[in-house]
Structure 1
């Protein structure tokens, strides 16, 4: 009995912990330790040679908050967030709704929607930089055909944010499959009952489909908002934060502070604030969702 109990103890109790031990260690080491380290460095005039350097308290935060460039990067981040949500967030939902109505080639079209995510971001940016090219790009060629004036696009501070976000209007990606799977998971009995009651297609979408996939939409919204607040790669590859800082997001500001200014204390302070803002926005979203459920 004792041996049997010991065998059960190791199989059912200890084995799961042993399996999770290595991932937990790496998560703490590669995720949470850098966060604590950044918080620690933010209180120093950090010197990589003579670590950690002089203790300056909150000076890194105070100096940063009094610079216009820092607040301009936050304004750019907010505009990117609004453009991202308004221009691209609802596209995959609409595509999934249309795919769900198909009776043929649904699998083929679903695959075609997902394939673009296999294209590296760098390649996608190169293609779209040619689209926005002021002399040879398709965008200005279309403007000429419509009898409109040509634009400098990525070199125009008023248009650069739009140009960076616009490729997302194509939609597609894993989001389409998530929404489609959620829609197909709704019981067919509900749709049959709705049809017998004379429910129109629009009412089915509004009163049946959207409420039943609400959780997936909410999760995708949290991911989209968090990604937009931390946006770095696309603005940097499209315009390197230009022109005149018009596409400099918080991510680019932090990157430049570390790699161009070599101010590790201020860069860490900006990273800490960005993390706190992201956590706050996510908490507000989750609180709002819980309130709606209640």
Structure 2
């Protein structure tokens, strides 16, 4: 049950930090007149860095002795943290790097927003629909399909998460970052318990399938 609990906590963090925040970033970039191309390039750069290299960089940042994170905390008057060695912080440390940059998600959202017909935007402006009203009533409904696809991908990817938590903390400390993917991996490769690993794999498949079908049902209901 610990692996399932960790997986769903990581899923919640992923949806907040790497699903909602990139959408806000894309909306912000769309409103810029200058530096839009430069900032878009900066947002996409983290996606070009190999995962292993990205993890190494962030493990340096989270290092309790010479890491940048603790240096920033000290500068702000806070107390240094153990970060990856703290069961209460390790999940946050695993997901947070996805916030900076936003990667392909920001780029896809921005492309969808820029694909909205200029006539629709102009008509909305003439009707007095500007600012947050334009975002709520014009932009978000017109990119709802892209949002739905990104939501499904975020859920599926996080539920299967294995490599990133394993490279950060190998499932520790005290199993705090052991996802269902790591549990299945350990069952096959460390414990050599193929029955348990196979059963866990099938259950994970069924859970992902059910969650995806529920998402599609709600999307269909909203569409109707």
Matched, 1:201 2:131: yes
Q: Structure 2 unaligned runs (5+)?
A: none
Which residue number corresponds to residue 77 of structure 1?
7
Following superposition, the deviation at residue 142 of structure 1 comes to: 1.4
How do 1:263-274 residues align onto structure 2 when only pairs under 5 Å count? Answer: 263-274=193-204
Name the count of aligned residue pairs: 224
Select the structure of larger CA radius of gyration.
1
Task: Spell out the pairing of 1:107-122 with structure 2 (5 A cutoff).
Answer: 107-122=37-52
Does residue 187 of structure 1 match 2:83?
no
Helix, strand or coil for the counterpart of 2:57?
helix
Q: What is the SS of the residue equivalent to 1:170?
A: coil
Are 2:25 and 1:89 aligned? no
CA distance in 2 between counterparts of 1:254 and 1:80 reads 17
Q: CA deviation at 1:152?
A: 0.7
Aligned to 1:160: 90
| 3-state SS, counterpart of residue 216 of structure 1 | helix
What SS does structure 1 have at the residue aligned with 2:176?
coil
Q: Is the 8 A contact 1:91 1:171 kept in 2?
A: no
* Contact 1:231 1:249 (8 Å CA) reproduced: yes
Q: Residue 179 of structure 2 corresponds to which residue in structure 1?
A: 249
Q: What are structure 1's unaligned runs of at least 5 residues?
A: 1-70
The answer to whether 1:149 aligns with 2:79 is: yes
Q: Is the Cα contact below 8 Å between 2:44 and 2:101 reproduced in 1?
A: no
Query: CA offset at residue 90 of structure 1?
Result: 1.4
Alignment of 1:220-259 (within 5 A): 220-259=150-189
Instruction: Determine helix, strand or coil for the equivalent of 2:99.
Output: helix
Show the counterpart of 1:126.
56
1:7 corresponding residue in structure 2: none
In the alignment, what sits opposite 1:280? 210
Question: Deviation at 1:189?
Answer: 1.4
How far the C-alpha of 1:103 sits from its partner, in A, is: 3.0
SS at match of 1:90: helix
Who is 2:140 aligned against? 210
Contact 1:100 1:183 in 2 (8 A): yes
Moved more, 188-197 or 158-167: 188-197
Aligned ranges for residues 168-179 of structure 1 at < 5 Å?
168-179=98-109
Q: Distance in 2 between matches of 1:239 and 1:204?
A: 43
SS at match of 1:237: helix
The whole-number CA distance in structure 1 between the counterparts of 2:112 and 2:103 is: 15
Structure 1 length as normaliser, TM-score? 0.74
1:88 and 1:171 in contact (8 A); partners too:
no
Once the two structures are TM-superposed, the CA of residue 290 in structure 1 deviates from its matched residue by 0.5
Instruction: Give yes or no for contact 2:46–2:101 (8 Å, CA) kept in 1.
Output: no
Per-residue deviation at 1:200?
2.3
Q: Structure 1: which 4+ aligned runs deviate by more than 3 Å?
A: none
User: TM-score by structure 2 length?
Assistant: 0.96
Provide the C-alpha distance between the structure 1 equivalents of 2:203 and 2:33, rounded to a whole number of angstroms: 49
User: Tell me, what secondary structure is at the counterpart of 2:207?
Assistant: helix
1:153, distance to aligned residue in structure 2 (A): 0.8
- Return the alpha-carbon distance in structure 2 between the equivalents of residues 190 and 117 of structure 1: 32
- Calculate the aligned-residue CA RMSD, in Å: 1.2
- Pairwise CA distance, 1:73: 0.5
Please give the secondary structure, in 2, of the residue aligned with 1:272.
helix
